[in-house]
Amino acid sequence: MTEKDLKDLEFAIKEDIDYVALSFVKSAKDIDDLRKELKNRGKNLPVIAKIEKHEALANLEEIIDRADAILIARGDLGVEISLEEVPLAQIKIIKKCRLKGKPVIVATQIMESMVNNPFPTRAEVNDIATAIIQGTDSIMFSSETAVGCYPVEVISTVNQVILKTEAEMEKQPIPSNYIFEKAEGDPLLALSYSACILADNLKAQAMIIPTETGKSAKRIARFRPSTRIIALTTEETISRQLCLVWGILPITMVPVSTIEEFYQKAEDLLLTKKLINAGDRVIFTSGAYIGLSGGTNTIKYHIVGDAH
């Protein structure tokens, strides 16, 4: 890391950012070096590894394991490898991130023509839909919204494409069990998969997930259930970080002391926000003890308005 990198890192920490994105990652060591710098500054921020070097593709498994999220920087990646390899690399990276439960972002020249025009090309719309079908968590814009003439139209257009594409995808059998088959006996992943299947079979209106670190909600999201995922956390920072992850609606709530209190407070909060209605079928996942990270061991089926 250069002196400028460290200066930028100091500024980012001061501004209370939610993620640190590391450019030109070649190996897991680069991520480890950044984490050491963060630790030296008393911070433990999640790291996004930008895949834009050919070395990163050779070390993809270890990079995904070590990073908190992955960004496919197709512009620089297209300089490092041949252009015809970039689409295949995108498919490979997204699939590996899905299998490992790591959020993945597709970036660069998503709506490049809209820097100067109010409408995208057909090819750009197809590019967005393809990334969604492949399973990306997020799409990131650069010049389109940073210096472009039509930033609002860019967001409006991509939103329409996302909603239409995902509405069609929901007609397919969801969730697929191919990710679960890679779980290797992980009990937390098995419980998350079971919650998705239960929600799908019961046609639940929402899955309500208490999460201290965001991991519980991410385990649910990796299966891409057709049921809406509502993540409830007491930490505003975690709520913001979860905005990056597919399908999660993060809500910040006041701390509670018991699981029974959580059920009641969660229902009251979501009714007030009109995110659920009386009579809705919902699925809760939780642990026996509130505030214990990694303690999820319960799936609860509940009809909104009934006594807990």
What pLDDT, in 10s, does the model give residues 244-280? 999 999 999 999 988 899 999 999 999 999 999 999 9
- CATH superfamily placement of domain 180-303: Pyruvate kinase, C-terminal domain (3.40.1380.20)
Predicted confidence at residue 185, as pLDDT, reads: 73
Half-sphere exposure of 299 (CA within 13 A, CB side): 18
Q: Apex CA 281: angle with CA 277 and CA 284, to 5°?
A: 105
Q: What pLDDT sits at residue 175?
A: 53
Question: How do the domains of the chain map onto residue ranges?
Answer: 3-169, 180-303
pLDDT score at 184: 63
Cα–Cα nearest to 209, from 194, 201, 200, 221: 221
Same fold, 3-169 and 180-303: no
Residue 289 is predicted with a pLDDT of: 58
d(CA 51, CA 79): 12
Does the structural domain 3-169 have CATH classification 2.40.50.140?
no
Q: Are 280 and 301 in contact (CB under 8 A)?
A: no
> What pLDDT, on a 0 to 100 scale, did the predictor assign at position 295?
66
The number of CA neighbours under 13 Å toward the Cβ of 190 is: 5
Residues of the chain predicted below pLDDT 50: none
Q: Is 91:108 a contact under the CB 8 Å cutoff?
A: no
In this predicted model, what pLDDT tens digit does every residue of 4-47 receive, in sequence order? 999 999 999 999 999 999 999 999 999 999 999 999 999 999 99
Question: What is the value of pTM for the model shown?
Answer: 0.91
Q: Which of 43, 50, 55 is nearest to 10 (CA)?
A: 43
